[in-house]
Structure 1
């Protein structure tokens, strides 16, 4: 359909647009977390070491991270719906290629291709939410979107367990194809046709951004695996990133949203997101290995027990969302991340003989803590930006999430290399530290000025 009303979409198109947005983002987030629990099966299927197969996760996340900000800028330039639809088509095609992968190298390459599509979807997801809902309902829409993201990330293990109980690992990717095609058909009709800014797309900045993030995270990964040249790559990436930020300072709508990061509440919320999602990524990779390899639980049993996480996340996010605007987001974030840190510390010292009830309780505590944090923090980022910079805010929201998740996955790969079977417990302890840091950053928001509307 054509343009959009100035204040969101009318019903029932608003509900259909929200459904299309939710299905697409859920697939992208699920795909990352599903791969985590599939890692042991992939290691066995391809007879490859965990330190190599973890790139089935890393390649996907690193591609998304490298392209999030360029895709957000492209959406502002040529229109959000165009970029979103193209991204969804690429994502579906990539899922089909993953399902057909004959070896580990092909799978990793297919995950890169799939990541291109996921970057287009995730980068402007928040902007589409903002253009879908009227101002009076925006808080509810942001909360629903944040709930879908958090619940999808946590539900991945349970979905993977259900699929693996009746089929092999290839169906973990193949199931996306029919769902994605349905979401694409709905998106073409229902999504808001937000007016493009017609600003020239910064191709040089996009290339600089992608190179900076790839060099940074690949360099860290190689450095953690004992290759000194990796640290040179990482330093080169940091240098390019600094140059990109400097280049963006004078631009009215820069690819790297330095203009938005001057807003205190947004800068703190984005920083909290990076550290919180780094803790989550470490946890989501470490727990399946801890429960399956160390505790001796089956993959199906592991996934089914982890259902406690998304259920608790949904309850906590619903609670925090209902109080949005009345209770400061910084308070929810501080309390939620403290609960998350305490649960992670308990997991780090959990005995292998722990009864299932205790494991489920510890998983539910993780979900409660993360649910209290995620929805209010995402709302802070999107609500603090002017409406005309909703694409930049959306890219920043997605970049904060993916930067943390990718960094966590890269660090986890290094821990597997150096610590072997001790890596899951060490990772959970490190995740608790990052959760406490996110709590401190969230509480720092309490002393700031009111948000921009």
Structure 2
């Protein structure tokens, strides 16, 4: 690996077309470990919630805060840390995030109260936000431009396989060890990534001063908006709705204030580009659709179709398994075919698959459900990597970190909004009917339509 400043500077001149071999291989491995780390950590805690509630003596409603707090801190911090990555270096912010995460995870062994667990979980999310805000950006400097779509596809495979592994790993740890091990289990991935992190790209940093005021304003705005919605759905409407409205008003003023900046924390400059703006909104709709479907399906399968919890896990498995095959293929194709074409085809598959799932009979055999879910997964797999590649391809090189944090924020925002939508539907008593999947199919269709609108400029 290059060690001197001259070698480092020389390698940076080729980063627009990818890192030289073998450094590129080491960098891919480092990012893959980081991706696996945060995908596992994002979902592994779910299976431990009942055990945590019993051990710490808290209610089932309160223990969900372990998950919602993590998501809230992520969505608050991704954009500010993306700007920090541009200012101080992608590699520095990425490695610092993994170090913060590892230290917070180690502190889990000291947890003896629910309040302390929430503090530790908040620091885990802070470290994850630092790394995730720039993780995808580094792919643009690791891979040659002609292979960026394939690189995004490989990263999607790592993400999908890690997400599929998380529930099984979490269940095993809770069954055989103390629940605190659930939060420590992903740490080896962080340590391995840190150990080989010098291979990661370190492009030239932006000049000027970091907009600390804008970063804090962005975090507060997203915190009020998303936190208010969550409180309104799961807690107090009287408190949540005003908080969400305050976040919305703050957001309008914040976006307006960012418009005149050369490197805005909220990437107004990127969203003004027609292709990026349409792809961003389409991405939010697509993530809302997939999240709404995946949150709903356990209720439909368990309560509507009579399957046990362990059977539900197996029935949903075709979704990540299909994504494992489709995502790298879609990434490879996006280097050769317009992303708008792949996205439109994908959303047609996704909408069709969810309508087919809506029509499946409650007494249908498992295979009849599984193939419909695979059709849906094909659609989302064809959409995600090409859509991300298009955003990167359209963004200037010096705004790659902003594009990366924006993509990560869109994903998390869409997933959070999709889960909240299901919460509203369940509260209305419509969870087992046709409405949820029909709404999710409509969101996928909207994503496809937005993708069609950018066909001529793709």
Contact 1:161–1:304 (8 Å) recurs in 2: no
Equivalent residue number for residue 54 of structure 1? 64
Displacement, 1:129?
0.9
Q: Distance in 2 between matches of 1:358 and 1:98?
A: 43
Equivalent residue number for residue 238 of structure 2? 228
1:382 pairs with 2:389: no
Equivalent residue number for residue 224 of structure 2? 215
Once the two structures are overlaid, the 10-residue window that deviates more, 75-84 or 34-43, is 34-43
Q: Distance in 1 between matches of 2:438 and 2:265?
A: 35
Displacement, 1:50?
5.3
Displacement, 1:358?
2.5
1:92 to 95, 98, 102: 102
1:183 pairs with 2:193: yes
Equivalent residue number for residue 436 of structure 1? 445
Contact 1:152–1:310 (8 Å) recurs in 2: no
Q: From the superposition, tell whether residues 177 and 221 of structure 1 become closer, same or farther in structure 2 (CA, over 3 Å).
A: same
Contact 2:287–2:414 (8 Å) recurs in 1: yes
Contact 1:37–1:285 (8 Å) recurs in 2: no
Equivalent residue number for residue 199 of structure 1? 208
Q: Distance in 2 between matches of 1:395 and 1:238?
A: 20
Deviations 1:278-337 (A, max 9, x none): 222223333344445555544443333433222211221233223224322122212222
Contact 1:339–1:366 (8 Å) recurs in 2: yes
Deviations 1:366-424 (A, max 9, x none): 321211111101101111111111111111111111111222233344455x2479479
Equivalent residue number for residue 411 of structure 1? 421
Q: Which aligned pairs between 1:117-266 and structure 2 lie closer than 5 A? A: 117-153=127-163, 155-160=165-170, 163=173, 169-187=179-197, 189-224=198-233, 225-266=235-276
Q: From the superposition, tell whether residues 406 and 107 of structure 1 become closer, same or farther in structure 2 (CA, over 3 Å).
A: farther
Q: Distance in 2 between matches of 1:254 and 1:198?
A: 13
Q: From the superposition, tell whether residues 140 and 83 of structure 1 become closer, same or farther in structure 2 (CA, over 3 Å).
A: same
Q: From the superposition, tell whether residues 156 and 371 of structure 1 become closer, same or farther in structure 2 (CA, over 3 Å).
A: farther
Deviations 1:147-170 (A, max 9, x none): 433444455445445555655654
Structure 2: which 5+ runs fail to align? none
Q: Distance in 1 between matches of 2:239 and 2:269?
A: 34
Q: TM-score, normalised by structure 2?
A: 0.88
Q: From the superposition, tell whether residues 386 and 107 of structure 1 become closer, same or farther in structure 2 (CA, over 3 Å).
A: same
Q: TM-score, normalised by structure 1?
A: 0.89
Q: From the superposition, tell whether residues 151 and 179 of structure 1 become closer, same or farther in structure 2 (CA, over 3 Å).
A: closer
Q: From the superposition, tell whether residues 48 and 268 of structure 1 become closer, same or farther in structure 2 (CA, over 3 Å).
A: farther
Q: Distance in 1 between matches of 2:433 and 2:125?
A: 26
Bigger radius of gyration, 1 or 2?
2
Structure 1: which 5+ runs fail to align? none
Contact 2:153–2:329 (8 Å) recurs in 1: no
Contact 2:430–2:436 (8 Å) recurs in 1: no
Displacement, 1:103?
5.1
Secondary structure in structure 1 of the residue aligned to 2:100: helix
Displacement, 1:276?
1.2
Contact 1:58–1:410 (8 Å) recurs in 2: no
Once the two structures are overlaid, the 10-residue window that deviates more, 51-60 or 363-372, is 51-60
Q: Distance in 2 between matches of 1:150 and 1:32?
A: 12
Contact 1:147–1:375 (8 Å) recurs in 2: no
Q: Distance in 1 between matches of 2:181 and 2:300?
A: 24
Equivalent residue number for residue 7 of structure 1? 14
Equivalent residue number for residue 272 of structure 1? 282
Secondary structure in structure 2 of the residue aligned to 1:124: helix
Equivalent residue number for residue 326 of structure 1? 336
Q: From the superposition, tell whether residues 286 and 53 of structure 1 become closer, same or farther in structure 2 (CA, over 3 Å).
A: farther
1:317 pairs with 2:327: yes
Q: Distance in 1 between matches of 2:288 and 2:309?
A: 24
Contact 1:7–1:133 (8 Å) recurs in 2: no
Q: Distance in 2 between matches of 1:431 and 1:52?
A: 28
Q: Distance in 1 between matches of 2:313 and 2:178?
A: 15
Contact 1:344–1:429 (8 Å) recurs in 2: yes
Q: Distance in 1 between matches of 2:151 and 2:267?
A: 23
Deviations 1:340-377 (A, max 9, x none): 23333344455554322233323322321211111101
What number of residue pairs does the alignment pair up? 447
Q: RMSD over aligned Cα, in angstroms?
A: 2.8
Displacement, 1:97?
4.3
